[in-house]
Structure 1
Amino acid sequence: MRERAPAGTSPTAATDDDRAAPAVDRAVDHGVDRHGFWVRTLRLWDGFFVAMLAVYTVAVAVGPPTGPRQVVALALVGVLAVAYVTLGRAGAVRGDPRLTDAYLVALVVLVVAQVALGGIGTVLLFLAYSHVWFFSRRRVTGVVWSVVLTGGITVAAAARVRADGAEVVEIAADFGVALAFAIVLGLWITHVAEQSEERASLLEELRAAQDELASTHHAAGVLAERARLAGEIHDTLAQGFTSVVMLAQAADAELERGRVAQARTRLGHIEDVARDNLAEARALVAAFAPPGLEDGGLGAALVRLADRFTAETGVRVRVDDATDGVVGREQEVVLLRAAQESLANVRRHARASTVTLRLARTGDDVVLEVADDGRGLAAGTPEGTGLRGMRARADAAGGTLDVSGAPGGGTRVRLRVPSPATDAAASPLRPDPPPDQAATRPADQPADPSQEQP
């Protein structure tokens, strides 16, 4: 097995000798999955070893040499099997180079002994050369062990036949050809194994990156969904509950003054708001569009919103829709939520008497402008949850949000979002409509503003 790269070193930063490390040793470095891959490879080597040893054992048992040499040859086969299991294979699985080096020593000695005994001992060279290259830690080590093995069997073969000078040269030449073939084949197989290992490493890294990316996308999706739900709840249910509380307080005040009819009117408004909130809650659960957009589109929804706001607070609300009804559904949701939040801020902070909702088209954009004649925003007033939510919705829709002072006093919220409908004619913002054309309702009880920031 080849020596591993230093701890913390990436595979691409390792030296050439380090990259030539044996399969199982590298598997220990790179995780359980690759370790399993190389263990399966080792099982193939187990099968090859058992098959070769079985063939050789049968050949020795039925052929020459007979007598004591046959017994010794069979005994050496048993020793080789034990050495492979206890040294070679164990060292490969554990990543222990001392065991694998000990196995290579035993392998060379036992194969040389088999060749010295005669018969077909040279058949074991197929097994010996392959194991030399599998268990060597470096290419150079594989070449050295191949040379040592070839030299040993050359001496053993020459000594067995008592060869003279010419015969020794002939034997050496024959085994030299085998050595050259073994080295070339070993280097080529090592190169192929390295490429296979590198591909396995890249595939594992790719799978890990895909898993990490999927996990990141899942986490981002969870956070985005939480933020979306938080914004929806703030813009719908929370605003509705605020209306319920303020209407209940107003109804209580009417009862204290003995104005039963007005108190009943407030209770009716409370019931309407509660029903609307229930519809919004069901829409959120079912992931439907806001209920207010289901009947007549954005313009009609703004009129209904204005009528209810006027009825609840006594603040006069005018609606001017110059879009001809050509607005995409996603843009309608963003604009409706912005109008709801803007009116909620007017209710809590503005102390206004009149609010104007203008909806118009400028080029390919749809613009919603909410202007009131209230006390306006004090300098340095921080943005609250509502305005931050509106700005986030505008950004998500590719639009912009601007909050500034209105001409003549008050506050103006201007939301611009791109519209998918590009064939509609551009319409500039029109002036306020005459009072008799506005969607209004008499004010019978102004709401008390709270100190909460927008």
Structure 2
Amino acid sequence: MLQRPQRGDPFWLRALLWWEGFSWALIVLIALGTLVGGTPAPRKYGLLALLAVLALCYTLVRGFPRNWLVRPYGYLCVLVLVLGGVSFLESGFGVLYTVTLVQFVVFVDSLRSALVYSALGATAITLGATVRDGWSADLLASNTVSSLGVYAVGAVIAILTPKALAMRDERAQLRADLKTAQWELTQVYQRQGAAEERERLAREIHDTLAQGFASIIVLAEAARAGLSATPDRSAQQLHSIEQTARENLAEARILVGAAPHSTVADGSIATTLRRTLDRFTEDTGLTVTAELAELTDADCDRPVRVALLRCTQESLANVRKHAEASTVGVVLALHPHGIELEITDDGRGFVVGESPGFGLNGMRRRLAEFGGSLAITSSLGDGTRMLATLPLNGRS
């Protein structure tokens, strides 16, 4: 085992494990007392030699637990022999068995080993003292009773300590597992957060910069084609290109953090949508009819206004690129269940299940953030209807 006190151990277990180190202080005191005492020289040097051998073996097994010379069980065998030897050489040295009792627990890896080696230590001091004082049945019985009392204490320690150590190790493993799980969970959250941020940026880029650049391309092509035939119309388109480029630059600065915040949808949603629809009519020449309810900030806060604006811009961009429509209808209405934005066109339509599209998915995710939903109805030749529904002020 080679157990040491650890943080979180019960007080009695920490005291028991610290006793192993404290016992060596007592052994050193016993050695010094022997050295300066009146013990005859032969027995004195024998006692000191045995204690020195024990100290050397302890140092090796503690400092180099994997050394080939002394292993934990080998050290316990040395301890048993030393206990027997010092009990034989000097009266009263059997107390070393009590002092070193804890070592029979912390140097083994099973209850049976602890009980066996503790019994061997008790036997060694009993035989050593009996042989020293002259062999007799009465003396052997007296020494045995004395040793059994100490052995009983050692047995209790041997029974309780491994269980406490096992519980401690189990708690330590649980703490390690919890720490690992927390680290893994943190990594998952970081990856999830990074993925969500990439998705958010992709959606913002698609709904702002990409749509703006697509509009610039269409306007530039139209302006170039009409330079000679309709110069006034081309000039108007060039103006729209400039305005769209400036808006894209402002959005790009916001995305990279070079601007404090977007001014998009700062006014009422009706005003914002009218301005967007006017630009769309000006750029495309399509007929747009609009019925826009005036919503208050209590009904429609800024994040919801931005969501409705982005849905409108995405729908109008799809009309421009794909629908080949002549008229577009936009209805913004307030109902008891929430806000509805409906955009219809009389274009060529499409098969909804076959056209997932990044823009449509982006609209769905944007609306879902506020508890809303998106319904697309379309068929070939019958135009398209987009219905966005949001709870009041983003409340689901």
Normalised TM-score (structure 1):
0.78
Matches within 5 A, 1:251-330: 251-255=223-227, 257-286=228-257, 290-294=262-266, 296-322=267-293, 324-325=295-296, 326-330=299-303
Structure 1 equivalent of residue 75 of structure 2? 103
How far residue 97 of structure 1 moved from its aligned partner, in angstroms, is 12
Conserved 8 A contact 1:358-1:369: yes
Greater relative contact order (CA < 8 Å, ≥ 6 in sequence): 1
Alignment equivalent of 1:151, drawn from 101, 123, 139: 123
The superposition leaves residues 128-181 of structure 1 with CA deviations (integer Å, 9 ceiling, x where unpaired) of 321110011101110111111111111111111114222221111011100001
Cα RMSD over matched residues? 2.9
SS of the equivalent of 2:102 reads helix
Write the deviation string for residues 322-358 of structure 1: whole angstroms up to 9, x where unpaired.
Answer: 3533213332222211111111100100111111121
Q: Greater shift after overlay, 387-396 or 149-158? A: 387-396
Match of 2:25 in 1: 51
Given residue 75 of structure 1, which amino acid in structure 2 is its aligned partner? A
Q: Is the 8 A contact 2:110 2:162 kept in 1?
A: no
Larger mean Cα displacement after TM superposition, 67-76 or 204-213: 204-213
Distance change >3 Å, CA 379–CA 250, structure 1 → 2: same
Aligned AA (2:392): S
* Paired residues of 1:322 and 1:359 also in contact (CA < 8 A): yes
1:136 corresponds to which of 102, 108, 126: 108
Q: What is the one-letter code of the residue matched to 1:141? A: S
C-alpha displacement at 1:46, in angstroms? 7.2
Distance 1:96 1:75 in 2: 22
1:88 deviates by: 5.0
C-alpha displacement of 1:297 = 2.6
Is 1:370–2:343 an aligned residue pair? Answer: yes
What does 1:81-120 correspond to in 2, within 5 Å? 81-91=55-65, 94=66, 99-120=71-92
Contact 1:398 1:418 in 2 (8 A): yes
Question: Alpha-carbon deviation of 1:44?
Answer: 5.2
Q: Deviations over 1:93-133 (max 9, x none)?
A: x4999811111111111121111111442232234321110
Q: Percent identical across equivalent pairs? A: 35
Contact in 2 for aligned 1:111/1:128 (Cα 8 Å): no
Match of 2:305 in 1: 332
Which of 145, 167, 176 is the aligned partner of 1:195?
A: 167
Partner residue in 1 for 2:98: 126
Aligned position for 2:193: 221
- 1:70-81 counterparts in 2 under 5 A? 70-81=44-55
Separation in 1, partners of 2:131, 2:169: 43
Is structure 2 residue 39 aligned with structure 1 residue 65?
yes
Give CA deviations for 1:11-48 in whole Å, capped at 9, x if unaligned. Answer: xxxxxxxxxxx648xx9xxxxx99xxxxx999957743
User: Structure 1 407/418 Cα, relative in aligned 2: closer, same or farther at 3 Å?
Assistant: farther
**Does residue 410 of the first structure (1) align with residue 380 of the second (2)?**
no
Tell me, in whole angstroms, the C-alpha distance in 2 between the residues paired with 1:379 and 1:164: 106
Q: CA deviation at 1:54?
A: 1.8
Going from structure 1 to structure 2, the CA distance change for 1:321 and 1:375 (only over 3 Å counts) comes to same
Is 1:243 aligned with 2:215?
A: yes
TM-score, length-normalised on structure 2? Answer: 0.89
**C-alpha distance in 2 between matches for 1:43 and 1:331:** 65
5+ residue gaps, structure 1: 2-21, 28-32, 35-39, 423-454
* AA at the equivalent of 2:249: L
**1:381/1:362 Cα in 2 relative to 1: closer, same or farther (>3 Å)?**
same
Give the number of aligned pairs. 386
Distance in 2 (alpha carbons) for counterparts of 1:392 and 1:264: 38
- 1:350 corresponds to 2:333: no
Aligned partner letter, 1:226: R
Distance (whole Å) between structure 1 residues aligned to residue 91 and residue 303 of structure 2:
88
Contact 2:373 2:389 in 1 (8 A): yes
Question: Quick check: 2:304–2:394 contact (8 Å CA) kept in 1?
Answer: no
Q: CA separation in 1, counterparts of 2:69 and 2:50?
A: 24
Alignment partner of 1:371: what SS?
strand
Structure 2 partner of 1:436: none
The secondary structure found in structure 1 opposite 2:94 is: helix
Show CA shifts across 1:73-107 (max 9, x none): 1111111111112235533xx49998111111111
Query: CA-to-partner distance for each residue in 1:210-264, whole Å, 9 max, x for gaps?
Result: 2221121111111100100000000110000001111111111111x34322221
Paired letter, 2:49: A
Structure 2 residue 357 is matched with structure 1 residue 384? yes
Distance in structure 1 (CA, Å) of the matches to 2:379 and 2:260: 35
Instruction: Read off the aligned partner of 1:409 and give its amino acid letter.
Output: D
Is this contact kept in 2: 1:399–1:418, CA < 8 A? Answer: yes
Q: Which of 370-379 and 108-117 deviates more? A: 370-379
Matches within 5 A, 1:176-195: 176-195=148-167
Question: What's the CA shift for 1:284?
Answer: 2.5
- Corresponding residue number in structure 1 for 2:11: none
- Matched-pair contact (CA < 8 Å) for 2:268–2:294: no
CA distance in 1, matches of 2:242, 2:276: 15
The answer to whether the 8 A contact 1:88-1:103 is kept is no
* 1:296-330 alpha-carbon deviations (Å, 9 max, x no partner): 13221111110111111111223322353321333
Residue 293 of structure 1 aligns to a residue in which SS?
coil
Q: Which residue of 2 aligns with 1:447?
A: none
Residues 331, 419 of structure 1: 8 Å contact kept? no
Q: State the one-letter code of the partner of 1:319.
A: A
Per-residue Cα deviation, 1:159-210 (whole angstroms, up to 9, x for no partner): 1111422222111101110000111123223332222222222222222222
